[in-house]
Structure 1
Amino acid sequence: MQKSYLQPSVMLKWLMFCGAFGLLSACGGGGDNNTGTTVTDTTPAAFSFTAQTNTPLNQLVTTPAVTVSGINSATAISVSNGEFAINGGNFTSSNGSVSNGNTVVVRHMASAQNATTTSSILTIGGVSATFSSTTVPAATGNVEALVNITFPLGKAKTNSNTIRVTGTANSTLPLANLSVNGTAATIADLSASAPGKVSAALSPPDYAVSWYADVPLTANADNTLTVAVTDDAGNRNDKAATVQVSRKFAPSTFSYDATANRLYAVVENNDLVSIDLQSYEYHALSNLQSAHNLVFAQGTGKVFYASALNNNVTLYSTDIETGIVNQVHTFSVALQNSQFINLTDIVYADVTQTLYFMLVYPSSDRALYLHELYGFNLNSGVLSLISSDSVGNGPRLETNKLLAVNNMLLGFTWEREGLISIDPATGNRSLLIDGIAGHNMVLAKGETDNIIYTAGFAGVFRIDLTAQEITNISPEAEQDIYVTEQIQSLALDAQGNRLLLSDSTAGLVLAVDLTTGERSKVLSSGVGDGRYLLMPQFIATDTTTDTVYLLDANTNANQALLEVNLSTANRSFVTDSNALPDDIAADLLLDKARNRLIAIYYNQIVAIDLTSRAVSTLKTNSGAAGIAVQTFNGGVIDSVNNKLLISAFHTDNTLIELDLITNQHQLLSITPANTNAPVSGIVDIALNADGSKVYLLSQHTGVIHQLDRNSGVAQVIVNECLNASGMNMLDTDYTTLHNIIYNPYNDSVLITANAVLEVNLADNSCVAYGNNDDSYIDVSLTSDNQLLATEQNKLLHYDRINNQSVVISR
């Protein structure tokens, strides 16, 4: 409804009427008979953009966000000579709509000419504002400066809408302007609070500054961030430094449209996108919110998915052309006390135009698990319980995954080693075939109705139901780079003679050649090439080359010892995985003096020569020459004295010392300063710069001990480290203490314990960085005090000052 206004003559008469009969409530409009009708208001409050000056030539320039306010209904938005993005989404120049509270940013391409102004006009609900940028004046020469980006490193990936890019700059003249992709940076004198060191390009530099810029990132795209600088004399460098930051992620699950050769997929933040497998371009459609499984219904032009909240199940559809979301159907199910619903799969049968989806009611007792298969017919709108313990006969319904083949549904047996059929008309179930090795996770229809493909821990199988033949076309045991862990989707690309599968843990969509079984990468959430990371538990860094070594010790795949090049993010094998011990890993250390890595396992310590790549055993905890402890745990190398110190979790008041030259060992006795509190449960240790102090991290008591190596006395120096919420991050009741390292740049120790903790050794004060739900496993430092951290399936560059991280290898 548009706003209306009284003509002046009418307004005068109305005022005279009210003046004569001022006591009548009708004139005031506030009587009890007021209908209370809300007037639709689509005209927002005024907004504005600050003009930007000294912008680099021919680069995208972006405004800070403005918030739409003053409306109570969606209103139109458009832009001239530019693009806009709503709520951190994709940029577009097409007309759209916004709602109250939405945020909007505008960008345009700055002029290719010096001292030239470019203007964009954003209009929201009839209210307009101009955004202008003026390029730098004609320069007299190049800026004599070195600009260094300290965060993020190299190539990076993040799911954030914005990133705080930090860095340093050395210049002979004061800098008039520094920007990143057109976003002006905040410049400050270099201070000790900046985690990076300045690399001197000039001798000496006249001006050294630190800087940061909060730069918006385009979703589902690769972003190149470019730093431009201008000094007081007008000299400039429009490409002083660059870094790549991607927000493009591989799907966790997908549905394949073979006709269009396109995936409809769930990516980071549960966004629904379509992905063209020719161009690999992403197109945002909608957000699945709490749903995780989806199906493209061929012939309907829609993607369907379902969500389960409490005892309510709701079916939704998204139009693949418009992205419009509709609620298709909702219903409730009865739940017992403490019971909940898992919606494990949804499929579409085009023969009957029916959606089938599986509800699972978990229990601690397998016998109490309940599976219910529902069908919803798109023509009639009728919902039916198809099969369950009480509907249909045959083997118990215990499958999480479904496959529609003509008038029949297929699923797994409980052990995932057999296939069953489910008759939608009766709910009856029959065993079709058994003996498929491994824990199979997904199903796909093959070239004919009698050919089925499955994939799981043992590999990818082709199943001929007529001949009752099972063939492993891509055995897992033969894979070194593209191993799988949590496969979510599988589909046949007949034209490409391949299968497509997604692994949510690895962040990959793989292609499996149907002839050779060879696997190749189609889409990736990772950074860099090579064997992807599953569980990089331990990290060691060569600070002379900034080469990173990772021990990826995952229970669902062979462990891998990998070398990561921080410049390219590429990963390569240090040694054959089969040469590593079949044991539980406890630590990874770099023995630089002997050009080798030392891997500590619970029952043995091995060395990996970085030249020959050979693996040799240094010590075990058994036999006459062994070390008499139950397990080995974290260690540290004393490079000054050529010693390896090792903790023994189950042995109180004891450290192990191994001579790295003679390979002789001894047990070192620790004297607790408090004789009533033994030094116990030590999971990892660190050594200060001169080797006089050892820092011991106790998982038993949640404390950090300082051991004086001369006296052998250990005292507790930290027993509490509070985060922003007041939680003690050393309290082992709700945190897990993993590793500890010494930071020579700050004379501190860093600890991983659901967050990164830093203890200042000058006063033993402790700071907890990050959030309660962080899951950092190990940390390491580069040559310029940049913090690297490992999480499940990724290596991170962690900015502890600004509490942000990016993936730099995965």
Structure 2
Amino acid sequence: MRGIAADPEGVASVIVNGVPAAITRVAAAASTAGVAKGQLAEGEVEWSAEIALDSGDNQIVVAVEDESGEITESAASSTITYVEVPVSFNLDTVRGRIVGLSYTLTPTGYAQHLIEHELATGSQEVFDTLWAAPESSCFRAVEDQFLYLQHPTENVWELRQYDLGARAEALLFQIPSADLDPGPDFQPWLYTLRLECDSNHTSAYLLVNYVGDPNIGFEKARVLEIPLDGSPIEILTETDTGVPEPWVATDIALTAETLVAQQNFVGSPKPLTSISLADGTREDLTPGLGVAGLALAPALESDRVYVATLQGVDEVDISVPSTRNISEVEAGSPVGFYQVREVAIDSANNRILVGDSDLDAVVAVDLATGERTKLIARNVGEG
């Protein structure tokens, strides 16, 4: 926080919520980048202070002490509403909430928190720091369980669980390294492990990508079925190497009976794919139509898949198949999507929710009009 204080006797100090502020006086102000020469009058000082904010409303009170020792206890006051922004989130349509991970820049570095945000009221509950990769997490709403992967040591991956009701963390089990081993010609790309789960399934599903030639990018994908009762992990499907145009998935989304997968679109976009949860059979959802985006949300009951892209939000009609942009904005728009982390369909409110880490916001896109509005944000416009 920063501001300007003045007193005829001269300002000796400024205190913000009990924290002494740094002060810039007229002589120093003329040589600083923050205050132009002549901007401060005699007797004025510019002050700045770092204040830790809690989630919700924060009362800020500024006290000023003059050179004679007299203190004005409430020289200025304001209320600041602070929110955490879980740009990587899971939508719970039954309870009307989103649960996910936020990152906040603090004086000592970034802090990660697990957040529960109520859609109706905007109230938030902040849980513990888990240090989970956002893509490698999912939420089982009925059980109130947040599942996530951790990589404590080399060649060891753990599937862990955080119980929101009990505020307790527990290890479910380790994933055997053999299940992640792609063979001698590939290396796992461990930065984008995609984990999917919900309360309607007794297994979680993990997408792992692999690279061979670093100049080519992803050359192999494997989807693991991970039974949550601890039964052996199975390979649901994986790339058939050696074929002319191999299937390589880069993103998956869970539906009632299938996973919907987006393929690697380096070179040219490929069709969306359906993966049967029963036997791993793959089938093109959009034959002849390539689909490329940053994240996807399927609504197969209405023959739709929604895909966030740099150009907007595409509605893919898999019955035709065809695609149309339902929310296009000009380049440089304050609500453009540049680093999408999550997309979800909020059917009750006829909108798409998009989490974007570049905006540091969750944006609501009206399905009827395409209008974008901030749902959760620290600082973003509308349009």
* TM-score of the pair, normalised by structure 2: 0.78
CA distance in structure 2 between the partners assigned to 1:405 and 1:458 by the alignment: 26
The reply on whether 1:295 has 2:130 as its aligned counterpart is no
CA distance in structure 2 between the partners assigned to 1:298 and 1:235 by the alignment: 56
Moved more, 263-272 or 346-355: 346-355
Report the equivalent of 1:274.
116
Q: Deviations over 1:508-558 (max 9, x none)?
A: 2111111122222212242x6367xxxxxxxxxxxxxxxxxxxxxxxxxxx
The reply on whether 1:261 has 2:90 as its aligned counterpart is no
Contact preservation (8 Å) 2:315, 2:326: yes
Moved more, 466-475 or 279-288: 466-475
Contact preservation (8 Å) 2:218, 2:264: no
Q: Deviations over 1:134-155 (max 9, x none)?
A: xxxxxxxxxxxxxxxxxx457x
Q: Residue 134 of structure 2 aligns to which amino acid in structure 1?
A: H
Moved more, 228-237 or 311-320: 228-237
For 1:239-638, what aligned pairs fall within 5 Å after superposition?
Answer: 239-241=74-76, 248-268=83-103, 269-293=111-135, 294-308=137-151, 310-331=154-175, 332=177, 333-334=180-181, 340-363=189-212, 364-366=214-216, 369-389=219-239, 396-415=246-265, 416-434=269-287, 439-446=292-299, 448=301, 450-476=303-329, 480-526=333-379, 529=381
Report the equivalent of 1:689.
none
Q: Residue 492 of structure 1 aligns to which amino acid in structure 2?
A: I
CA distance in structure 1 between the partners assigned to 2:45 and 2:364 by the alignment: 48
CA RMSD of aligned residues (A): 3.7
For 2:167, what is the secondary structure of its paired residue?
coil
Stretches of structure 1 lacking an aligned partner (at least 5 in a row) = 1-151, 155-166, 532-810
For 1:483, what is the secondary structure of its paired residue?
coil
Change in Cα spacing, 1:417 to 1:237, as seen in structure 2 (3 Å) is: farther
Shift of 1:489: 0.9
Shift of 1:188: 9.6
Contact preservation (8 Å) 1:447, 1:494: no
Shift of 1:252: 2.6
Shift of 1:254: 0.9
Q: Deviations over 1:194-237 (max 9, x none)?
A: 84468666xx64xx777665x54124446454311245778543
For 1:67-216, what aligned pairs fall within 5 Å after superposition?
Answer: 152-153=1-2, 169-172=6-9, 175=12, 178-184=14-20, 192=28, 195=32, 196=35, 205=43, 215-216=50-51
Change in Cα spacing, 1:491 to 1:173, as seen in structure 2 (3 Å) is: closer
Percent identity between the two aligned chains: 21
Change in Cα spacing, 1:198 to 1:181, as seen in structure 2 (3 Å) is: farther
For 1:270, what is the secondary structure of its paired residue?
strand
Shift of 1:505: 1.6
Contact preservation (8 Å) 2:308, 2:337: no
Change in Cα spacing, 1:182 to 1:420, as seen in structure 2 (3 Å) is: same
Change in Cα spacing, 1:435 to 1:517, as seen in structure 2 (3 Å) is: farther
Q: Deviations over 1:619-668 (max 9, x none)?
A: xxxxxxxxxxxxxxxxxxxxxxxxxxxxxxxxxxxxxxxxxxxxxxxxxx
Shift of 1:314: 1.7
Change in Cα spacing, 1:491 to 1:185, as seen in structure 2 (3 Å) is: closer
Change in Cα spacing, 1:473 to 1:184, as seen in structure 2 (3 Å) is: closer
Q: Deviations over 1:467-523 (max 9, x none)?
A: 534343224569955322222211111110111111222222111111122222212
Q: Residue 208 of structure 2 aligns to which amino acid in structure 1?
A: L
CA distance in structure 2 between the partners assigned to 1:236 and 1:275 by the alignment: 40
Higher relative contact order (CA 8 A, sep 6+): 2
Contact preservation (8 Å) 2:118, 2:124: yes
CA distance in structure 1 between the partners assigned to 2:351 and 2:45 by the alignment: 54
CA distance in structure 1 between the partners assigned to 2:165 and 2:131 by the alignment: 20
Contact preservation (8 Å) 1:229, 1:236: yes
Q: Residue 181 of structure 2 aligns to which amino acid in structure 1?
A: A
Q: Residue 414 of structure 1 aligns to which amino acid in structure 2?
A: N
Shift of 1:351: 3.8
Shift of 1:255: 0.7
CA distance in structure 2 between the partners assigned to 1:318 and 1:182 by the alignment: 36
Q: Deviations over 1:677-729 (max 9, x none)?
A: xxxxxxxxxxxxxxxxxxxxxxxxxxxxxxxxxxxxxxxxxxxxxxxxxxxxx
- Aligned positions, number: 360
Q: Residue 412 of structure 1 aligns to which amino acid in structure 2?
A: Q
Q: Residue 249 of structure 2 aligns to which amino acid in structure 1?
A: T
From 64, 67, 84, the equivalent of 1:229 is 64
Change in Cα spacing, 1:488 to 1:184, as seen in structure 2 (3 Å) is: closer
Contact preservation (8 Å) 1:341, 1:360: yes
Q: Residue 127 of structure 2 aligns to which amino acid in structure 1?
A: L
CA distance in structure 1 between the partners assigned to 2:200 and 2:56 by the alignment: 37
Q: Residue 322 of structure 1 aligns to which amino acid in structure 2?
A: A
Shift of 1:184: 4.4
CA distance in structure 2 between the partners assigned to 1:200 and 1:409 by the alignment: 62
CA distance in structure 2 between the partners assigned to 1:242 and 1:174 by the alignment: 18
CA distance in structure 2 between the partners assigned to 1:243 and 1:515 by the alignment: 38
Q: Deviations over 1:29-48 (max 9, x none)?
A: xxxxxxxxxxxxxxxxxxxx
Contact preservation (8 Å) 2:363, 2:374: yes
CA distance in structure 2 between the partners assigned to 1:492 and 1:400 by the alignment: 20
Report the equivalent of 2:108.
none
Contact preservation (8 Å) 1:249, 1:507: no
Q: Residue 518 of structure 1 aligns to which amino acid in structure 2?
A: E
For 1:427, what is the secondary structure of its paired residue?
coil
Stretches of structure 2 lacking an aligned partner (at least 5 in a row) = 104-110
* TM-score of the pair, normalised by structure 1: 0.40
Contact preservation (8 Å) 1:307, 1:343: no
Change in Cα spacing, 1:224 to 1:369, as seen in structure 2 (3 Å) is: farther
Q: Residue 302 of structure 1 aligns to which amino acid in structure 2?
A: Q
CA distance in structure 1 between the partners assigned to 2:5 and 2:313 by the alignment: 50
CA distance in structure 2 between the partners assigned to 1:180 and 1:198 by the alignment: 25
Contact preservation (8 Å) 1:226, 1:241: yes
CA distance in structure 2 between the partners assigned to 1:464 and 1:173 by the alignment: 69
